[in-house]
């Protein structure tokens, strides 16, 4: 079986040396200069994706905000890029808030998410001047109200609800069904109860509702169904409480092309169709068009990223399979081990050659399940080759660990302005920094 290299995204290429490139930069040269494992991040690709969202939002909605879901990739420079492109930041921990603030991100443009924020988390968010708290449950509303009372502040709150939608994605990244751990279900009446409870709190200003149907969805219908259900719920809130909420956050989850047989979900089409559904519901229920919020993360940064590894041992078991071992693995990319996330890989220094070798890509951690992919086609590998795993900008560095006491890799930013470090490689000294 032979296959030519597929360039999954427009920022990937092959140069005259036959080497794989990102933003026109030779990845083999990057591996030589910065070492491996190495995260490569294309700043220009991220900016172009930000602009697709902001331009589409301005085109189709009266008032809309794009929130970068920074759980996908969080480090100081990425908040600076997001801010310069006019995005707000969706955060899910004190650590993400702290990183954003350390980067100079305006606190009023930060939204704070999560299903079990601690009291310390909420105190930090309130004291830092975070703009919006996306509240998940009644206990959180109690804690937030008490904290705001002590600080003589009022929190702007968007309440997370579950619309009861199956997004037809992997169960581990499906978040909008009735039995989700996130939010309060509309179907059971708990969401309306939570709305009434929020409205009763003196130091909480309820401004809207939020849902997120799931991640990595290629089917437009769940997003359109969510728009219908959430608009109907806004009408129900007005009818039963007399309060008109002004914000509707439909989350994120737009699918990204990881492998050749996938296609990116069309962002412009999705925004246009959602806008049409919202306007139609406004006419049906006599509502003013709400401020629309969207939380793309993966779709902004996934294709901007590539991870580079050096090939070590190559092991063939006759009649069974071959393994290509690399100098990274589940410690820097746990997604295959967690839920068999698909990836497309190639030998970066042989990108112009046919893929003719079938193997499992094995990481260096002491786990049999430490794999990047199984039964995947590659160019015939040799020790010392550079393996590129494509579309790793989302949920790779952000999910990385020090398992087996492995230092986390460096991240280098590339683009039309050249290359620069965004995150330095951890040292052995870093591994024991907190040890006593």
Q: Which residue in 50, 148, 211, 366 is the catalytic one? A: 366
Is pLDDT of 429 > 90?
yes
| pLDDT exceeds 90 at position 175 | no
pLDDT in tens, 279-303: 999 999 999 999 999 999 999 999 9
The verdict on whether 366 is a catalytic residue reads yes
Alpha-carbon Rg for the chain, nearest whole angstrom, is 23
Higher-confidence residue of 195 and 165: namely 195
* pTM for this model (two decimals): 0.94
pLDDT reported for residue 166: 64
In the chain, the percentage of residues whose pLDDT exceeds 90 is 91
pLDDT digit string, tens, across residues 389-418: 999 999 999 999 999 999 999 999 999 999
All structural domains of the chain, each given as residue ranges with its CATH number in brackets, are 12-35+304-431 (2.40.37.10), 44-299 (3.20.20.10)
Average pLDDT for 412-430: 97
Q: What is the pLDDT of residue 172?
A: 39
pLDDT at residue 182 is higher than 90: no
């Amino acid at each position: 079986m032979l296959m030519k290299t597929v360039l999954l995204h427009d920022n990937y290429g092959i140069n005259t040396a036959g080497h794989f490139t990102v933003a026109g930069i030779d990845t083999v040269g990057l591996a030589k200069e910065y070492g491996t494992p190495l995260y490569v991040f294309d700043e220009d690709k991220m900016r172009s994706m930000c602009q697709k969202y902001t331009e589409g939002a301005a085109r189709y909605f009266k008032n809309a905000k794009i929130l970068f879901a920074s759980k996908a990739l969080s480090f100081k420079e990425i908040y600076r890029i997001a801010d310069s492109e006019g995005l707000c930041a969706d955060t899910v921990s004190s650590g993400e808030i702290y990183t954003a603030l350390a980067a100079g991100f305006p606190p009023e443009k930060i939204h704070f998410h999560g299903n079990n924020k601690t009291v310390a988390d909420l105190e930090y968010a309130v004291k830092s001047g975070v703009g919006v708290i996306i509240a998940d449950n009644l206990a959180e509303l109690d804690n937030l109200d008490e904290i705001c009372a002590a600080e003589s502040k009022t929190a702007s709150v968007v309440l997370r609800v579950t619309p009861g939608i199956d997004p037809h994605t992997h169960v581990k990244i499906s978040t909008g069904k009735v039995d989700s751990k996130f939010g309060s279900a509309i179907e059971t009446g708990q969401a309306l109860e939570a709305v009434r409870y929020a409205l009763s709190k003196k130091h909480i200003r309820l401004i809207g509702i939020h849902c997120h149907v799931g991640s990595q969805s290629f089917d437009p219908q769940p997003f359109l169904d969510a728009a219908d259900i959430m608009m109907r719920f806004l009408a129900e809130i007005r009818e039963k409480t007399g309060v008109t909420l002004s914000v509707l956050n439909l989350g994120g989850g737009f699918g990204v092309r990881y492998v050749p047989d996938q296609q990116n979900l069309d962002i412009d089409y999705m925004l246009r169709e959602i806008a049409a559904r919202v306007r139609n519901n406004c006419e049906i229920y006599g509502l003013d068009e709400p401020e629309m919020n969207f939380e793309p993360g993966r779709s902004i940064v996934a294709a901007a990223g590539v991870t580079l590894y050096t090939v070590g041992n190559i092991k063939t078991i006759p009649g069974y399979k071959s393994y290509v071992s690399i100098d990274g693995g589940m410690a820097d990319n746990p997604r295959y081990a967690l839920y068999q996330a698909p990836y497309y890989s190639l030998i970066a220094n042989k990108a112009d050659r046919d893929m003719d070798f079938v193997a499992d890509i094995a990481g260096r951690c002491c786990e049999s399940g430490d794999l990047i992919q199984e039964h995947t086609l590659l160019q015939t590998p040799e020790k010392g080759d550079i393996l590129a795993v494509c579309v790793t900008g989302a949920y790779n560095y952000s999910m990385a660990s020090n398992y087996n006491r492995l230092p986390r890799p460096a991240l280098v930013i590339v683009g039309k302005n050249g290359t620069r470090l965004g995150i330095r490689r951890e040292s052995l000294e870093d591994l024991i920094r907190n040890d006593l």
